[in-house]
Chain A
Amino acid sequence: MKYDLIIAGVGGQGILSIAAAIGWAALDSGLFIKQSEVHGMSQRGGAVQSNLRISDKEIASDLIAKGSADLILSVEPMESLRYLPYLSKTGWVVSNSRPFVNITNYPDPEEVYNEIKKIDNHIIIDAEQIAKEVGNYRASNIVMLGAASPFIDIQLENLEKGIRTIFDRKGEEVVNLNLRALHAGRKFAQENKHA
């Protein structure tokens, strides 16, 4: 088993919490992982990504080769497109629909959605809306993780454990909110797969 994913977003959107949840879940599943992330200048509102690789065998490269990612999980729609050269032709794009507009030449969102829809396997999800419905818009990143979860070869209960590990110090209330977010995102994906 080998699963390569790219988590994308804008510096400050907190994509590393998604990477950490999957990372812990993979470790709990007895898998090897490598997860590279961006620190430094880009974290100031620039485009950021994390390469996350999971395998039952030892992993060599920290970076994913072009055309080989199984999934792009993006918390921002335009950012989901930036890493398309890395996506395998059979891979999935799971993207949040809410644009993060901090540049003057941000494209028309409809054009962005149309490009995402050109990828056979895609899900576009309003993660903030779903997060709000389960309690707090701040859980939107974990809604995104939930929406990607049906495609990631890790058991749901291990992802739940991963979320517990990350949010444990913030108290039971936050843990439960994020667990609800995970399930809501997962449900949306299962009902809205476009393949």
Chain B
Amino acid sequence: MKKLLLLGAEAIAHGAIDGGMSGVYAYPGTPSTEIAEYVQRSKAAKAKGLHSKWSTNEKTAVEAALGMSYAGKRSMACMKHVGLNVAADPFMNSTITGVNGGMIVVSADDPSMHSSQNEQDSRYFGNFALMPIMEPSNQQEAYDMAYEGFEFSEKYKVPVLMRLTTRLSHSRASVDLSPARPENELSMPKDPIQFVLLPANARKRYKLLLSIYATLEKDSDSSKFNKMFNLPENEKAEMGIIACGIAYNYLMENLNGSGKSYPILKIGQYPLPKKMIGEFYNKCEKILVLEDGYPIVEESLRGLLNLDEKIKGRLDGTIPRDGELNPDIVGAALGKSSTSYFEIPDVVANRPPELCNGCGHREMFFALNVIIEEYGQNRVFSDIGCYTLGALPPFNSINSCVDMGASITMAKGAADAGLYPSIAVIGDSTFAHSGMTSLLDAVNEDSPITVIISDNATTGMTGGQESSATGKIEDICAGLGVHRDHIKVVIPFNKNHEEIVKTLREEVNYQGVSVIIARRECIQTASRAKKAEAAKAKEKK
């Protein structure tokens, strides 16, 4: 059997390729980016001509994946947890339409917010949409679930949500591969109105979904991804442990070699296996629930009134309510006394992330700070990307970072309230992702806002993926109705500082929508391109 050393994210990608996927659709977002990137680099995927180009946002990604499924082929859409909010509309409806070809939606959650605005748990979305959820505990399961997920989706005629968290996505281990399966042939849905969610049809489809969900619950009880062991024969155990996804690893890390043993229910597939849980519940005096993310399983076991004192977890303080799990937190929940260890010496200073030396965003902020100085503080709305670091010293330039595209619409809302000047700072990729509709709102009311699109021609924070608006930004803004006289381009170099300040001042003074594009290639992608070119030149010699 062939083995590969893969990140969890890469294992999903490889499993999908081997599982007969015809295309992946994704927008970059930590910790999910490496899934689509792996398909883009894969020789096997290239040879088969699988789709892997980036989508403009997560909504377009899920819709395109649903379209590929409509046409009978196996598709996958990948995103980070907050991306699933953007894709919520097609996601929620995709269980009601159901699928034709198998479809997997991957959502990578980021508990502890290593690189995110919140730590929302995608399993809520799965339950909300009545979608089955696969939650791998390790890289091998990540591979297997993706490999088998398409067939599962085709069997039950609904998409599958695959949920993982940062640590699994970004941890490498060896994975055994299964034989590659062929892609599906092009085929239309048998029912020509399966995907037509007109009320009359949607009601029928929803009833069908409810009946499918009942069978999914049964499937969970016999799934190989859910397993129960160490249950006492007759008497009750003092404590049993339910461990979901990667929490299982932290549990086993603590139990291996400790001489301790508990009844364990390992969860990898949802809806929750009701029969298993019922049996488990009756065999244990107490139950500790370990889940990386929100206390979803714990909450459903406790019920609304929280009368059940036998359930332990995040809600009773056995485990911290927020943040990701780790072996130490799980150890403490098991009553393990902490070993003594070294302290971090006081001399150690914090080292937060920062904009790279030579980054164009830096010069844009230095110029913007002159304007802030002139017109007053606290009126710059910003967005998601490298430039969010403009909130930190030495810049302290921006006052908001909420969701993709929010900078422009929040600036508009603040302008509606009477704030002047009201300034938005957004990146090129984020503008394409969700800023265009915001700009149209502002144009339609001729709002007096100044929008700075800091254009580095890439999706920088996630490592430099292509940005779908590159080369099109002026035309997009003009097409949305921004007057050509108020679409300005500046080049954010130190030598242009005065000119940039002057342009900003002019446009801030203009009582309508103006867009200033601060355009210079990302220093990281530029230096990579330079290196690649040098290597090519060397090869030619």
Residue positions of A touching B, CB distance < 8 A = 10-12, 23-24, 27, 32-47, 51, 59-68, 78-79, 81-82, 84-87, 89, 102-103, 105-107, 111-112, 115, 118-119
Contact = CB atoms under 8 A, between A and B. Distances in A.
Interface stretch (B230-238, B338-346, B431-439, B474-482): B338-346
Interface stretch (B27-35, B91-99, B126-134, B404-412): B27-35
Given A23-B172, A38-B170, A66-B339, A84 B345 contact: yes
A37 B389 contact: no
Nearest to B169: A39
B107 to A, nearest CB: 16
A34 B171 contact: yes
25 contacts: A11-B353, A24-B5, A27-B174, A39-B33, A40-B31, A40-B114, A43-B353, A44-B355, A45-B356, A46-B351, A60-B251, A61-B253, A61-B327, A62-B168, A62-B173, A66-B338, A78-B348, A82-B348, A84-B344, A86-B341, A89-B341, A89-B342, A102-B354, A103-B352, A119-B342
Contacts of A41: 30, 114-115, 353, 461
Interface residues of B, number: 48
A5 to B, nearest CB: 14
B252 interface: yes
A44 B339 contact: no
B249 interface: yes
B189 interface: no
A33 B6 CA distance: 11
B36 interface: no
- Interface-centre pick from B5, B33, B348, B351 (highest chain A CB count, 10 A): B351
What 7 A-B pairs are tightest by C-beta distance, nearest first? A40-B115, A40-B30, A67-B341, A61-B253, A46-B353, A36-B171, A60-B252
Contacts of B355: 44
B343 A85 contact: yes
Interface string B336-378: 0011111111011111111110000000000000000000000
Nearest to A112: B347
- Interface-centre pick from A43, A65, A79 (highest chain B CB count, 10 A): A65
A119 B341 CA distance: 12
A47 B251 CA distance: 28
A39 B463 contact: yes
A65 B171 contact: no
Nearest to A116: B345
Per DSSP, are chain B's interface residues mostly helix, strand or loop, or mixed? loop
A24 B172 CA distance: 11
Interface in B439-459: none
Nearest to A42: B353
Interface in B447-497: 461-463
Nearest to A16: B172
Contacts of B246: 62
Contacts of B386: 44
Interface string B317-332: 0000000001110010
A106 B171 contact: no
Contact of B250 (A61, A85, A111): A61
Contacts of B123: none
Interface in B240-261: 246, 249-253, 256
A79 B351 CA distance: 9
B167 interface: yes
Given A44-B386, A44-B461, A36 B328 contact: no
A42 B115 CA distance: 8
B349 A107 contact: yes
Given A43-B463, A44-B354, A112-B347, 12 more contacts: A36-B171, A39-B170, A39-B463, A40-B30, A44-B356, A44-B461, A60-B250, A61-B326, A62-B167, A64-B327, A89-B340, A115-B347
B345 A102 contact: no
Contacts of B252: 60-61
B170 A27 contact: no
Contacts of A103: 349-352
A67 B328 CA distance: 10
Given A23-B5, A41-B114, A65 B331 contact: yes
Nearest to A24: B5
Interface of B: 5, 30-31, 33-34, 114-115, 167-168, 170-174, 246, 249-253, 256, 326-328, 331, 338-345, 347-356, 386, 389, 461-463
Contacts of B167: 36, 62-63
B226 to A, nearest CB: 18
A66 B5 contact: no
A87 B170 CA distance: 22
A12 B354 CA distance: 11
A35 B343 CA distance: 24
B356 A36 contact: no
Contacts of B342: 67, 84-85, 87, 89, 119
Nearest to B394: A104
B378 to A, nearest CB: 24
Contacts of B170: 36-39
Contact of B327 (A65, A81, A85): A65
Contacts of B351: 10, 45-47, 78-79, 102-103
A10 B463 CA distance: 16
A77 B181 CA distance: 50
A87 B338 CA distance: 14
A148 to B, nearest CB: 18
A42 B112 CA distance: 13
Contacts of A119: 342
A59 to B, nearest CB: 7
A35 B172 contact: yes
A65 B253 contact: yes
Contacts of A32: 173-174
Contacts of B114: 38, 40-42
Contacts of B345: 81, 84, 115, 118
A66 B115 CA distance: 23
Contacts of B331: 65
B43 to A, nearest CB: 14
B349 A106 contact: yes
Nearest to B354: A45
B279 to A, nearest CB: 25
A66 B354 CA distance: 28
Contacts of A86: 341
Nearest to B115: A40
Contacts of B340: 67, 89
Contacts of B251: 60
Nearest to A118: B345
